[in-house]
Amino acid sequence: MSPHNSRTGFLGKTQGIHPRVIPAGRVGFVRKTVECKESRIGKKPIEVPSNVTLTLEEQFIKAKGPLGELSLNYPGEVKVVKEESGKLRVSKTVETKRANQMHGLFRTLTDNIIVGVSKGFDKKLQLVGVGYRAAVEGKDLVMNLGFSHPVRMAVPEGLKVKVEENTRIIVSGYDKSEIGQFAASIKKWRPPEPYKGKGIRCADEFVRRKEGKAGKKK
C-alpha cells in the first residue's frame, strides 16, 4: 500500500466513510456557569456587645463604643442587616465571584470595628540585637537601632504605645488597620535579617535563619 493510500485509509475513504469538515466560522465555545460557594466566614453572624451603639443606613454602618467610634461603607455586592436577636449579618446581594470575595472580607471588617470600639486590639513587637532599645518620650517612640542617631516616630492619634524591658513594644488602639500600619512602619526601620536574626519582629513571628558563608578551607 502506497503512502497516499495509507493516509486515505486512516481518514476512512477506503471504507466509504467521509469525515465531516466544519467551517471555521461555525466553531463555537461552550460557556460553563461557575457556581459561587457560600463563604464560611461571611455567613457567620456577628455578636454586638451591649456597650456598642450601631447606626445603619443602607450601605453604611457606624459603631460607637467605650474606646472610640468607627464606620464602614459597603460595596454594592454585599449588605449588612441587624437581626431580631441583635446580631449583625452580612449577606450578598448578587451571585458573582467578586460578591463571594467581598462577602468574607466585609464580614471580617465589620467584626473588627465592633471588637475594636468595645475591646480594642494590640500588636507586640520585639527588638533583637546588641544595643537595640526603645522608649516612649511624650508622644514619640524613640528607638536605638544601630544607626548614628536615634529613630524618632510620632505616635498617631488614637493609638497608644508602651515599652517593656526596653526591647518589647506594644501598640494598642481600637482601629486594627491603623495598628497594623504603624507596626509595619516600625518594622521597616530594621527588618529581621536571616543570618543573626537581628532586627524588629512581631512577637509571634518566626524568622527563617540562613547559614553564613563558610571560610575558605586550607
At the topology level, CATH places domain 46-119 in: Outer Surface Protein A; domain 3 (3.90.930)
What mean pLDDT comes out for the span 79-84? Answer: 90
- The pLDDT score that the predictor gives to residue 43 is 86
Given a cut of 50, whether residue 104 has pLDDT beyond it is yes
The residues facing 173 across adjacent strands are 121, 159
- The pLDDT score that the predictor gives to residue 193 is 86
- Helix or strand holding residue 29 (H, E): none
Distance in angstroms (rounded) separating the CA atoms of residues 206 and 194 = 11
CA 180 to chain centre: 11
Cα distances from 207 to residues 96, 124, 185, in angstroms, run 39, 15, 18
Express each pLDDT in 130-152 by its tens digit. Answer: 999 999 999 999 999 999 999 99
Given a cut of 70, whether residue 56 has pLDDT beyond it is yes
Q: Give the confidence band of 28 by pLDDT, cuts at 50, 70, 90.
A: low
Place of cell 467610634: 69
- The pLDDT score that the predictor gives to residue 205 is 81
Residue 168 sits at φ, ψ, to 5 deg, of -110, 120
**CATH for 121-202 (3.40.50.970, 3.90.226.10, 3.90.930.12, 3.40.50.920):** 3.90.930.12
Given a cut of 90, whether residue 5 has pLDDT beyond it is no
Question: Start-end ranges of CATH 3.90.930.12 in the chain?
Answer: 46-119, 121-202
